[in-house]
Structure 1
Amino acid sequence: MSLDICSSPMYLNKQTLEQNMSVTTEQKNLHLLPHNREAYEKVMAHFENHQRAAIVHATGTGKSYCIAAIASHFSKVLVMAPNNFVLNETQKVCNEGVEFRTYASSIYDEVPSTGYDLIVLDEFHRAGAPEWGHGVKKIISANPFAKILGTSATHIRYLDHERDMAEELFDGNIVSYLSLGLALKKNILPTPIYVSSLYSADETIEKAKGAIRTSKYMEDGEKKTYLHRLAGISRSWSESHGVSPIIKKYFSSDIKRIIVFCSKVAKAAKARQLLGDWLSSAGFKRIRFYQIDYQEKYLSKEMEDFELDNYDGLKVAISVNMLNEGIHVPHVDGIIMLRSTISRLIIEQQIGRCLTAENILKRPVVLDLVNNMDTMLLDYCKTYSFGGGSNGNNESSSNDELEPFPFEVIDECRDFREFYEEICKFDDVAELKDDIWYDHFLPLLTEFYDKNGRLPYPSEDLKAVRFIEKQRFPMNQRKYPHRMNWLVAHGYSKEPVKRTGLDERLDILEEAIKKNNGKLPTQKEDSYVNGIYQEFQKFLKGKKKNKSLTQAHLDRFQRILQMYVTPMKAVQVRFEKIKKRVEQEGIIQRGSGIASDLDYIWIRNHMNRLEISEGMKAELRKMIGLEDNEPICKGNEALKKFVIERGFLPTPKDKPYYGILMKFHKKGGAAIRNDPETYAFLLDHGFAPYEEK
């Protein structure tokens, strides 16, 4: 690889760079732009005295070139990334001999590979995912002398309690930082035309009309005035601000490629139909669609065709959970957002798909049809901001300061927004913004608090408690801060929901039981710890799955049960009580009274529990008259099997539970309707039902 700098006057020349750092092989020519050259030099200088370094550069600035330049100095290099598409982008510019693999593949390493002198974590914020993080850490631990390089557009996992992955993986060593705002301000990336609109404006306007008509706080004259103004806004929107007029206004006829972001495959199918109508109405007559989603069988072919085929019309890629990060598609003229999100990382990544340092002169168009900027709680008329980071001197921003975008957002819904803000001074209209909170949970919780002086427990209102717990998530706190403010004022903790791996959850469970003197905290005492116990019970019974779950986790959970036997203490007490009763009265028969029924149900519920010993299970079976190898109960099938094997019908004295089934069939009509086959079988074997009245 020969490393040089572009010859434009704004770039340093090749000789200057080679005097500072010589990078020469004969495999590939590599051209570094000044910002990447600076990052490259900083990393190499940092590696002289440190082992770990991170580059946090905005999407589209060419981080893969930094990786290739740095990797050329090392003999055995491993590059890891979230998926093969990201790896392919880096592989295009790297020397031969560099090893590439996904984060997911590390999960299956029984013995991690060794001998690497450089490990690269591309899109390293993704290495914080619970299912991948453990495997990545194993590889790093197996190569203690390797240099570790990370690259990403952001080091913060915003929807994972804002974890700082640069701090976790690289000891906070961000040696080069270039946010999207800075990249635009320095003209490293082209400045986009950002248009904020609303493809569901008609539906929103109709909802506002209904709220005005039914408002209890507006006078009749005010309602008439507001409805008249809203009708004018609606006409104006249809004539000049509808989706097709906006596309025609901002997308010129010479554009060739656009990417459309959707949240689900089902919505992508609907989007394709809508886009066809919008684009054709806007004047685009030749349109070809490409399906870029994780379920697409021919995904690689679709991406290749979108990038390379010579179709002379408009090429539209509809993306579902793809193209958000690390995948460079050249010559994209614009994007359309149909995926609503409050994640500024996702918004940055989507905008970045049409931004590239290779095409600084052409301004791409970003058409936001779901008001993502508004969703992120940023005022629509103000300068928009995106993530904080580092000052470039190994110091991350501790307060996550926001940097302004050096462009303004064109708001095509401004008239309606201003009108909406005006009518929101009426409380029942304002509730439109958050119906489920104002219409249901706020009155319910207020009434409960006034009566009890506290918020409800799960046993009192599980649905309300689950709703409350969801408000701890950072995404909900950013989107609905008024909810958490009310909850905190009424005694609720603002601490975020704990999201931990399986090992950490078992640590928490074990520690909680220790502190509670060998007892499992109840749901009221600690719903989180109790939830961990319930979750692992489902794992044991196979009722719930987790990709990270191993037999070691299950074994450890069972050891915790054996050590502290919190649930087993109560089980043992009840078992001994029933055992004494059986010794005095004989086997437990259902239908002999309330006490018998409760004991019988308790035995049946505990016979399949995994923490119950085999010896106790055998005794429980005997308590209700089951033989060693006899099925617990297969209903009517077990009843028929008994008759076939024994040659006679059971009585309650012979088999208590079968006797109960016989009583059911003696009801006649109900049994015939529910299981006519068994009813006929019993008749053939001498069964005499009661006559129906």
Structure 2
Amino acid sequence: MKLELFEHNQKAYEAAISMMAETGKAAIIHPTGTGKSLIAFKLAMEHPQASVYWLAPSSYIYHTQLENLQKLMKPDSSDKQIQSPDNITFISYSKLMHNEELIEKIQPDYIILDEFHRCGAAEWGKSVRKLLDAHKTAKILGLSATNIRYLDNQRDMAEEIFDGCIASEMTLGEAMAKGVLSTPKYVMAMYSYGEELKKLKQRIQTMESRSSARKNMELLEQLRRALEKADGPDKIFEKHMRMEGKIHGKYIVFCSSREHMDEMTEHMHEWFDNVDTSPHRYVAYYSNPETSKAFAEFKADKSEHLKLLYCIDMLNEGVHVDDVDGVILLRPTVSPIIYMQQIGRCLSAGTNKTPIIFDLVDNFESLYSIDCLTEEIDQAFSLMPCTQVEREKFKDRFRIYDEVKECRQLFGQLQSNLSSTWDNYYLAACAYYRDHGNLKVPKDYVTDDGLTLGSWIQTQRKVYSGKIAGGLTADKIEKLNLIGMIWNVRKNSFDTAYEELEKYHEQHENLDIKSRYVTESGYPLGKWINNIRVSAKKKGKEAVLNKEQLKKLEALGMIWDKNSEIWDVYISAAKKYYEETGDLHIPVRYVTEDGVALGNWLSSIKNGKSGRKMRAETLTDEQKAQLKKLGINMENTNNMVWNSKYKLAKEYYTEHGNLNIPVAYCVDGVKLGRWISNIRSKRKNPNSSGMMLDESRIAMLDSIGMDWK
């Protein structure tokens, strides 16, 4: 049975195959829940003779991925024995570290690095590097929801391991905006705030101005009353679980440590008795020997009870559980990647269900974590041509219930009062405008004086749009307008992109932009132009852009069909080579003086390895005619080699009446005896790597007297 991938994964698979053919390595960065492990399984299944070594942080992760594969391939099967594809060998990073002697013993054709950002860990990373150095001819495929190690000096593991060769990249917000992942209901609240109020009080007491301190103490008291008036966890869980009809649902409860988990489980009846007085509780963490059993029981539980799986870090990555109705984030401040991974546990590709995300925190800073997600969604829409109606439909699906909205507004006001003054930031903004000619400040930009100007600019936009409270007067708005403030980033997206396109064209004299290209100012120009192409192909140019915008792009030499453009470059190089040499017997590694990898291109066409839709079976009639005119044989190279050797074997049989060929026998430079010997070995060991030996080839050999012993 053939493994069929979702469209987004199929595109990623084709891009990875193409990139590995060219560079030997490719990384795929897709969010949790999109089914990226299936891409690696397809790679193994499409190359059954290849030896695939699959590395991951734990056997839990791989085992769950196998379960997902089995459900997809055999949805009606009740077989509990989960079989890994024959050509895959699984090794955990830890096992590799403790058994480095394995490195010299194995002969991988492909190496899968699952959750490859974990290869940045000191000891694991050393072992992985030894593995890659020892097997430089093996192709490497990396899978992860992120390439950045946020708590490790922002290390980019895609650069360190894959030299920036990223075949496909998608953020969680982008996956939601494009409909790849299900859209959740998001509930924000606090379960503890005493310590936070205490910290704010201490900060206010250090203020030099007594009048300012008095005003802020009044604000703090308003905040305290608002928090006391807000619903507690018990009412929040009851209201939203009943509203969605999920009082007997499955929920993963994320805790930060064993101590924190013990504290949270003590609140279970206090918080959930209004939903179910007898909830089923499960506990999972790495050092617990009962974890495997608890995890399996949680997945199998179909009872009419609320089901809660309390866990620490082990479900942050890799392990995906089907039919989860929601996640409950009981967390302190965490890195953006962990936040996104935890959210992703309840989101799945190919489903229309609406899971619930309960984001319950014990500090005010974490109440703004959702901004990471909404910013990704906003960026995705700004780069993805779509109508206002489509955006509004998404907003209707992505419902955010802010149970502490008033509290957040009061806290934001307090933070603003306790931080540097507006005027100080405005002076910094003026200086940036003088230096750069605009206010397109990267969101993480910090001035030499330590002012977080990028974050401040974003805050002004949010206050202006009414998303958060703040004192943005008409005078302040006018001041910002004078230095080029962009209030609506979405509306400005085409103009911004076009400015960057003009700069690129001026520098490179073309618009042949790679999909991952990011400008010096941080604008993802490659992704923008790729999205424009895809949308124009699906909906038509006029449905995506207005006449003025189309005219501007055409004037710059917009490449609408990159595949066609690439074809013209390569076929021209092939014609030139043919005219100069009289044939196209080109070595695979041949590159023209202009840098065109002509040998690899021809090999890819013949062997069906190109991810650029230039495979023989996808060529147009006109393209096939062009190749035929140049005398290019479109037969698969591997088949050509096999057929030529079979012809020699048949001639030997005609002359000698048998195929008892000495191993050292050669004819016309072909080691025919060795080839026959290898075929016998392949028949005895069908799972070994090497040539393909199917029933049709066996029958052909039988017809000329093959002795299989």
- TM-score, normalised to structure 1, is 0.51
Q: Tell me if the contact between 2:250 and 2:308 (Cα under 8 Å) persists in the aligned partners.
A: yes
1 CA distance for matches of 2:371 and 2:22? Answer: 47
State how 1:226-375 maps to structure 2 within 5 Å. 226=219, 229-230=222-223, 232-237=225-230, 241-252=231-242, 253-254=245-246, 255-280=248-273, 282-359=274-351, 361-370=352-361, 374-375=365-366
Q: What's 1:419 paired with?
A: 410
2:59 maps to 84
CA–CA distance in structure 2, aligned partners of residues 346 and 387 of structure 1? 20
Query: Relative to 1, partners in 2 of residues 1:192 and 1:264: Cα closer, same or farther, differing over 3 Å?
Result: same
Distance in 1 between the 2:153 and 2:378 partners?
14
What residue identity is the alignment partner of 1:270? E
The superposition leaves residues 62-117 of structure 1 with CA deviations (integer Å, 9 ceiling, x where unpaired) of 11211110012142110000111112133443512410011111223135133111
Q: Could you tell me whether the CA contact under 8 Å between 2:56 and 2:93 is conserved in 1?
A: yes
Residues 373, 365 of structure 1: CA spacing in aligned structure 2 closer, same or farther, 3 A cutoff?
farther
Q: Could you say which residue in structure 2 is the equivalent of 1:383?
A: 374
**Which amino acid in 1 is paired with 2:91?**
R
* CA deviation string 1:265-293 (max 9, x = no partner): 1111110111321111x332230111111
**Alignment partners' CA distance in 1, 2:35 and 2:126:** 28
Is this contact kept in 1: 2:191–2:361, CA < 8 A? Answer: yes
- Equivalent in 175, 179, 184 of residue 167 of structure 2: 175
Show the 5 A alignment for 1:456-495.
Answer: 485=450
**For this pair of structures, how many residues does the alignment match?**
395
Match for residue 148 of structure 2? 156
One-letter amino acid of the structure 2 residue matched with residue 161 of structure 1: N
Q: Which residue of 1 aligns with 2:86?
A: 96
Of residues 52, 56, 69, the one that matches 2:42 is: 69
Q: Does the 8 Å contact 1:385/1:405 carry over to 2?
A: no
Residue from 45, 52, 72 that aligns with 2:25: 52
Alpha-carbon separation, structure 1, partners of 2:396 and 2:364: 12
Number of the residue aligned with 2:600: none
Instruction: Check whether the contact 1:205–1:234 (CA below 8 A) recurs between aligned residues.
Output: no
Per-residue deviation, 1:419: 2.1
Deviation for aligned residue 1:382: 9.7
Residue matched to 1:143 = 135
Instruction: Tell whether the 8 Å contact from 1:335 to 1:365 is kept in structure 2 after alignment.
Output: yes
- Whether the 8 Å CA contact 1:342–1:479 is kept in 2: the answer is no
User: In the aligned structure 2, how far is the partner of 1:227 from the partner of 1:179?
Assistant: 37
CA distance in 1 between partners of 2:53 and 2:396 (Å): 35
CA contact (8 A) 2:12 2:168 kept: yes
Partner of 1:540: none
> What amino acid is aligned across from residue 236 of structure 1 in structure 2?
K
Distance 1:34 1:191, change over 3 A: same
In the other structure, the counterpart of 2:7 is 34
Aligned in 2, Cα 1:192/1:484: closer, same or farther, shift over 3 Å? farther
RMSD: 3.7
Deviations 1:458-501 (A, max 9, x none): xxxxxxxxxxxxxxxxxxxx9997998289xxxxxxxxxxxxxx
**Identity of matched residues, %:** 35
CA distance in 2, matches of 1:225, 1:242: 23
The structural deviation recorded for 1:318 is: 0.5
Q: For 1:180 and 1:382, how far apart are their aligned partners in 2?
A: 7
Kept in 2: contact 1:81–1:122 (CA 8 A): yes
Q: Give the number of the structure whose alpha-carbon radius of gyration is greater.
A: 1
The verdict on how the C-alpha distance between 1:484 and 1:90 changes in structure 2, with shifts beyond 3 A counting, is farther
Q: Distance in 1 between matches of 2:198 and 2:162?
A: 52
Conserved? CA contact 2:65–2:319, under 8 Å: no
Q: What residue number does 2:610 align with?
A: none
Secondary structure, counterpart of 1:277 in structure 2: helix
**Residue 286 of structure 2 contacts residue 314 of structure 2 at CA under 8 Å; is this kept in 1?**
yes
Work out the CA distance in 2 between the residues paired with 1:316 and 1:245: 17
Give the secondary structure class of the aligned counterpart of 1:266: helix
Kindly state the Cα deviation for residue 372 of structure 1 after the two structures are TM-superposed: 8.2
Q: In 2, are the aligned partners of 1:386 and 1:405 still within 8 Å (CA)?
A: no
Structure 2 CA distance for partners of 1:90 and 1:388, relative to 1, 3 Å = farther
From the superposition, tell whether residues 422 and 151 of structure 1 become closer, same or farther in structure 2 (CA, over 3 Å). closer
Counterpart-to-counterpart distance in 2, 1:245 and 1:287: 16
Whether the 8 Å contact between 2:184 and 2:354 is mirrored in structure 1 is yes
Partners of 2:275 and 2:306 within 8 A in 1? no
Q: Which secondary structure does the structure 2 equivalent of 1:318 belong to?
A: strand
- How far the C-alpha of 1:407 sits from its partner, in A, is 4.4
Query: Is the CA contact 2:361–2:367 (under 8 Å) kept in the aligned structure 1?
Result: no
Where in structure 2 are the equivalents of 1:589-668 lying within 5 Å?
none
Q: Distance in 1 between matches of 2:20 and 2:44?
A: 12
The alpha-carbon distance between structure 1 residues 193 and 256, as it changes in their structure 2 partners (threshold 3 A), is same
| 2-structure distance, mates of 1:329, 1:54 | 24
Contact 1:184–1:406 (CA<8 Å) still a contact in 2? no
Q: Within 2, Cα distance between the matches of 1:65 and 1:53?
A: 15
Q: Is 1:189 the equivalent of 2:164?
A: no
* C-alpha separation in 2, matches of 1:381 and 1:129: 25
Gaps in structure 1 of 5+ consecutive residues = 4-29, 393-403, 432-477, 488-693
Structure 1 residue 40: deviation in Å? 1.8
- 2:121 is the alignment partner of 1:132: no
Q: Name the SS of the counterpart of 2:187 in structure 1.
A: strand
CA distance in 2, matches of 1:67, 1:243: 41
Q: Secondary structure at the match of 2:136?
A: coil
Q: What residue in structure 2 maps to residue 655 of structure 1? A: none
Counterpart AA for 1:84: S
Rate the CA distance shift 1:327–1:223 in 2: closer, same or farther, 3 A. closer
Cα separation, 2, equivalents of 1:482 and 1:338: 34
Secondary structure of 2:61's counterpart equals helix
For 2:262, the aligned partner's letter is A
Q: Give the Cα–Cα distance (whole angstroms) in 1 for the partners of residues 200 and 56 of structure 2.
A: 46
Query: C-alpha offsets along residues 183-232 of structure 1, whole Å, 9 cap, x if unaligned?
Result: 11111111112222211135545666787799872489858965774464
Matching residue's letter, 1:323: L
Name the SS of the counterpart of 2:450 in structure 1: helix
- In structure 2, distance between residues paired with 1:274 and 1:484: 45
Distance 1:173 1:374, change over 3 A: same
Q: In the aligned structure 2, how far is the partner of 1:120 from the partner of 1:156?
A: 18
How many angstroms does 1:368 deviate by? 1.1
Checking the alignment, whether the CA contact within 8 Å between 1:342 and 1:376 is kept in structure 2 is no
Task: Report the alpha carbon displacement of residue 353 of structure 1 after superposing the two structures with TM.
Answer: 0.5
Of residues 224-233 and 193-202 in structure 1, the stretch that sits farther from structure 2 once superposed is: 224-233
Q: Cα distance 1:321–1:342, how it changes in 2: closer, same or farther (>3 A)?
A: closer
Q: TM-score, normalised by structure 2?
A: 0.50
Check the 8 A contact 2:28/2:144 in 1, yes or no: yes
Q: CA deviation at 1:37?
A: 1.6
Alpha-carbon contact 1:196-1:371 (below 8 Å) kept:
no
Q: What SS is found at the alignment partner of 1:58? A: coil
Note the residue ranges of structure 2 that are not aligned, 5 or more in a row: 70-83, 384-394, 421-442, 453-709
Whole-angstrom distance in 2 between the partners of 1:137 and 1:259: 35
